Amino acid sequence: MSRIVSQFVQRFLQRWLIRLTFAILLQNFFLHAAGPAVPILLYHKFASPRTDFMTVTTKHFKEQMDLLSKNGYTVIPLAALVAWRLGKGPAPSAHSVVLTFDDGNLSFYREAKPIIEAQRLPVTLFIYPSCISNASYAMTWNQLAELAAEPIVSIESHTVWHPNFKQEAKKSNPADYNAFVDMQLRKSKAILEDRLKHAVDLLAWPFGIYDPSLLNRAKAAGYQAGFSIECRAATASDSMMALPRCIVLDEDVGPRFLRFLDAAMRNAKN
Ligand SMILES: [Zn+2]
């Protein structure tokens, strides 16, 4: 009788051991398959007090940067994320995050720059050259050159004058539209490279608008990666020419900012 009990226990344990091993293997497979996911944060302008919904107050921007470091996030350069995706660099570690700033607003220089310098945070600015040293709200070429000389700052393309490609496509015939798109993509890259004396190979889509034809034209224009506005962390499953970014709002402070980052991770493509 005791032999029968012992055989039963032995079989029972064997069966559970097999199930447990299978479950661990399955979990490891999915963890590996999921790979790194990195939220790419997007800011536009800063002010105290806030002027519109795209504005983040300087106080809240500082708080958001502090929350990143206090909660174990590492701000990595956008170039490191791109290098990983191109198979030219290591995978980003867990809790990596990227900072990007669009449109060359003067408030970046006045409000955000001192904060990112104090914390030595690597950042990427996406610039449309037509506004530089031209519009009152924008930075000057001298200010951009000063920023470009900092190892933590990288300056990339946002087309020449920030067109809405969806509306432009409706306005003209396909040949004229394609020529316009190529001009916006190539001229912006050429102007920035000439002015700032470094290679420009990343592109942020104006208004986050893109389609398969635009992605192909950007690739043909020499861009290595493009960036859209879709709030989820970027993974190996996202298109290289339309990597998603999340707009951060002024309300995203305290626990809400951490929930915002968690949501970006949950929405990431597997
Ligand atoms: Zn923009």
Q: What is the mean pLDDT of residues 200-214?
A: 98
CA 126 to ligand 1 centroid distance, Å: 8
pTM recorded for the entire structure = 0.87
Tell me which residue has tokens 């916006």. 184
Measured in angstroms, how far is the CA atom of residue 158 from the centroid of ligand 1?
7
pLDDT class of 18 with cuts at 50, 70, 90: low
Give the C-alpha distances (Å, rounded to integers) separating 94 from 31, 36, 37: 12, 7, 8
- Cα of 144 vs centre of ligand 1, distance in Å, is 16
CA–centroid distance, 37 to ligand 1, in Å, is 24
The pLDDT of residue 189 is: 98
pLDDT of residue 168: 96
Q: How far apart are the first and last CA of the chain?
A: 52
Q: Residue 6: phi, psi to the nearest 5?
A: -65, -40
pLDDT at 9: 52
Ligand 1: distance of its center to the CA of 244 in Å? 14
CA of 20 to the centre of ligand 1 (A): 51
Q: Give dist(CA 16, CA 258) in Å, integer.
A: 38
Q: Which of 54, 140, 50, 67 is nearest to 101 (CA)?
A: 54
| H or E element in which residue 126 lies | strand 123-127
Query: How far, in Å, is the centroid of ligand 1 from the Cα of 25?
Result: 45
The better pLDDT of the pair 218, 13 is held by: 218
Q: How far is the CA of 11 from the centre of ligand 1 (A)?
A: 65
The Å distance, Cα 31 to ligand 1 centre, comes to 35
Range 189-210 average pLDDT: 97
Second-level CATH architecture of 37-266: Alpha-Beta Barrel (3.20)
- At residue 20, the pLDDT reads 47
pLDDT digits (tens, 9 = 90+) for 156-195: 999 999 999 999 999 999 999 999 999 999 999 999 999 9
Mean pLDDT across the stretch 245-250? Answer: 97
Model pLDDT for residues 24-75, shown as the tens digit of each residue: 444 444 444 469 999 999 999 999 888 888 999 999 999 999 999 999 999 9
Cα of 188 from ligand 1 centre, angstroms = 13
